[in-house]
Amino acid sequence: MTRPIVLTCGEPAGIGPEIAASAWAALADKMPMVWLGDPRHLPPATPFEMIDKAADAALVSSRALPVLKHGFGSIARPGKPDPAHAQGIIDVIARAVALVQDGEAAAVCTAPIHKKALMDGAAFAYPGHTEYLAALAGGVDVVMMLASDQLRVVPATIHIALEEVPSALTPDRLRRTIEITHQGLRDQFGIARPRLAIAGLNPHAGEGGAMGCQEVEWIADLVVAMRHEGYDLRGPLPADTMFHAAARATYDAAIAMYHDQALIPIKTLDFDKGVNVTLGLPFIRTSPDHGTAFDIAGKGIANPSSMIEAIRLAHRMATA
Domains in the chain and their CATH numbers? 1-140+281-320 (3.40.718.10), 142-274 (3.40.718.10)
Cα distances from 188 to residues 33, 95, 132, in angstroms, run 20, 23, 21
210 pLDDT higher than 80: yes
Q: How much is the pLDDT for 160? A: 87
Comparing CA positions, the residue from 68, 133, 93 lying closest to residue 283 is 133
> Is there a contact between 124 and 90 (Cβ–Cβ < 8 Å)?
yes
122 pLDDT higher than 60: yes
Burial class (CB in 10 A: 0-12, 13-18, 19+), 301: exposed
Read off the amino acid at residue 13: A
Q: How much is the pLDDT for 2? A: 80
320 pLDDT higher than 80: no
Over the stretch 134-180, which tens digit does the pLDDT of each residue have? Answer: 999 999 999 999 999 999 999 999 888 999 999 999 999 999 999 99
The Cα angle at residue 203 between residues 289 and 225, in degrees rounded to 5: 85
The strands making up 143-147's β-sheet, listed across from edge to edge, are 48-50, 65-69, 33-37, 5-8, 107-109, 285-288, 275-279, 143-147, 152-155, 253-256, 195-199, 232-237
Q: How much is the pLDDT for 146? A: 96
- The pTM score is 0.90
85 pLDDT higher than 90: yes
**Average pLDDT score over residue span 201-226:** 94
Q: 167: number of CA atoms within 13 Å, CB side?
A: 5
Instruction: Tell me the average pLDDT of the chain.
Output: 94
Q: How much is the pLDDT for 127? A: 82
Cα distances from 194 to residues 112, 145, 180, in angstroms, run 29, 14, 12
Report the C-alpha gap between 58 and 37 in whole angstroms: 18
